[in-house]
C-alpha cells in the first residue's frame, strides 16, 4: 500500500463515510484495511468507505466510463462490498464538487448498481436518482428477541427487509443483525429497517445495515421504506398516475423520497464534508504491512 494516503470524512444524515480519493485506482484496499479505516476507536471511523476512482481505471466500472467519469467503489465498514449506498452517492457528489471535479448541477456517478444521477443544489441538499425498486414476492419475517414481524422484501440494488412496528424501541439494541427469514430470500445478507408512522406520508425508521450494524441513516433503506409504505397505503404511482412523496425521518435527520409514475425514485437530503487529512504512514503499516 502507498505510504501517503489522503482521506476526507463526510456524512449524509449522519451515515458517515471515510472518503479515499484514488483517481488511478493505485491504492490497495483489502477488507482488513477498510475495516481498520472505519474503526471508530483505532481508526478514522465510518459506517462505510467511499473509494473515489475514475471509472476508466476500475475493472468493475470501465463500461460505465463513457456515461460517468467517476466510480463510487463502496465498501461497508466491515470491509465487505455492497452494490449501492444512497447516502454515499450524495456524499460522493459533494466530494466531487468540493474537489473541483464537477460544479453545481447534474452529475453522473458510476456504482455497482449502475449509473446514478445526482443534482447538487445551491442550498446544500443533494438529490439522487436511485432507480426503481424491485419487490420480490414471498413472505419475509424479521425477529428481535421474542417479537417477530412480517416484512416486505425490497431491493434497491441492495437487499432490504422492511418491518412495520408499533414502537421503534421494540427493535431493541440492534447490536447483532436481526434474524430475517427465510434465509433463501437473502442469500447475500440483508439490511433491516424498522418503521413507524409519523403522519400522512411521513414515517420514521431505525436501520441495521449489513456490514455496518445499526447506523443513523441508510439512503437505500429510506427508499425501500418509502416504497413499502406506499404499497401498504395502496399508493402505486404506476397505477394511480400520481407520484408518491414520503418524508422519512432517520435518527440522523430527514430524507424526502419521491417515486415517479415510471417507478424512478428520487431521494433528497443533506451531504457534507467535515474534515480532511492524511493517513499516518506508521499506522498504515500496522494495518496493511
Ligand X SMILES: N[C@@H](CCC[C@H](N)C(=O)O)C(=O)O
Which residues are known binding-site members for substrate? 15, 76, 86-87, 158, 191, 209-210, 219-220
Q: For 134, which DSSP code?
A: B
Angle at 163 between CA 157 and CA 166, to 5 degrees: 150
CB 240, min distance to ligand X, A: 26
Q: Could you list the residues known to form a binding site, using ranges.
A: 15, 76, 86-87, 158, 191, 209-210, 219-220
Residue 223 designated active-site: no
- Cβ atoms of residues 277 and 17 within 8 Å: no
Cell of 60: 468493475
Site string for ligand X, 2-21 (x = CB under 6 A): -------------x------
> Residues 20, 53, 72, 85: which binds ligand X (CB under 6 A)?
85
Residue 85 designated active-site: yes
Strands 159-164, 180-181: parallel, antiparallel or unpaired by DSSP? unpaired
Residues 166-195 interacting with ligand X (rule: CB under 6 A): 191
Residues 47-76 interacting with ligand X (rule: CB under 6 A): 48, 76
CB 253, min distance to ligand X, A: 12
> Residues 218, 248, 250, 265: which binds ligand X (CB under 6 A)?
218
How far apart are the C-alpha atoms of 101 and 91, rounded to whole Å? 14
How far apart are the C-alpha atoms of 104 and 122, rounded to whole Å? 7
Q: Interface with ligand X includes 113 (CB under 6 A)?
A: no
- Cβ atoms of residues 182 and 256 within 8 Å: no
Q: At what angle do helices 219-232 and 86-98 cross, to 10 degrees?
A: 140
**Using CB under 6 A as the criterion, which residues of the chain lie in contact with ligand X when the complex forms?**
15, 48, 76, 82, 85-88, 158, 191, 209-212, 218-220
Amino acid at each position: 500500500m502507498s505510504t501517503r494516503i489522503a482521506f476526507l470524512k463526510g456524512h449524509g444524515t449522519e451515515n458517515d463515510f471515510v472518503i479515499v480519493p484514488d483517481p488511478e485506482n493505485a491504492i490497495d484496499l483489502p477488507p482488513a484495511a477498510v475495516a481498520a479505516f472505519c474503526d471508530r476507536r483505532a481508526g478514522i471511523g465510518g459506517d462505510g468507505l467511499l473509494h473515489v476512482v475514475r471509472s476508466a481505471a476500475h475493472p468493475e466500472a470501465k463500461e460505465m466510463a463513457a456515461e460517468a467519469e467517476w466510480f463510487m467503489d463502496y465498501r461497508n465498514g466491515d470491509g465487505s462490498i455492497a452494490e449501492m449506498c444512497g447516502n454515499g452517492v450524495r456524499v460522493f457528489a459533494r466530494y466531487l464538487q468540493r474537489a473541483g471535479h464537477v460544479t453545481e448541477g447534474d452529475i453522473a456517478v458510476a456504482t455497482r448498481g449502475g449509473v446514478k444521477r445526482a443534482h447538487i443544489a445551491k442550498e446544500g441538499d443533494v438529490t439522487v436518482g436511485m432507480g426503481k425498486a424491485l419487490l420480490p414476492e414471498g413472505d419475509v419475517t424479521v425477529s428481535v428477541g421474542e417479537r417477530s414481524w412480517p416484512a416486505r422484501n425490497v431491493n434497491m440494488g441492495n437487499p432490504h427487509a422492511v418491518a412495520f412496528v408499533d414502537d421503534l424501541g421494540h427493535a431493541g439494541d440492534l447490536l447483532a443483525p436481526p434474524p430475517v427469514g427465510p434465509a433463501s430470500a437473502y442469500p447475500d445478507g440483508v439490511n433491516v429497517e424498522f418503521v413507524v408512522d409519523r403522519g400522512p406520508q411521513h414515517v420514521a425508521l431505525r436501520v441495521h445495515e449489513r456490514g455496518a450494524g445499526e447506523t443513523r441513516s441508510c439512503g437505500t433503506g429510506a427508499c425501500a421504506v418509502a416504497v413499502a409504505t406506499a404499497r401498504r397505503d395502496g399508493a402505486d404511482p404506476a397505477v394511480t398516475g400520481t407520484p408518491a412523496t414520503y418524508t422519512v425521518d432517520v435518527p440522523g435527520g430527514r430524507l424526502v423520497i419521491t417515486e415517479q409514475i415510471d417507478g424512478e425514485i428520487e431521494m433528497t437530503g443533506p451531504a457534507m464534508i467535515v474534515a480532511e487529512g492524511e493517513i499516518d504512514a506508521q499506522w498504515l503499516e500496522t494495518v496493511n504491512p
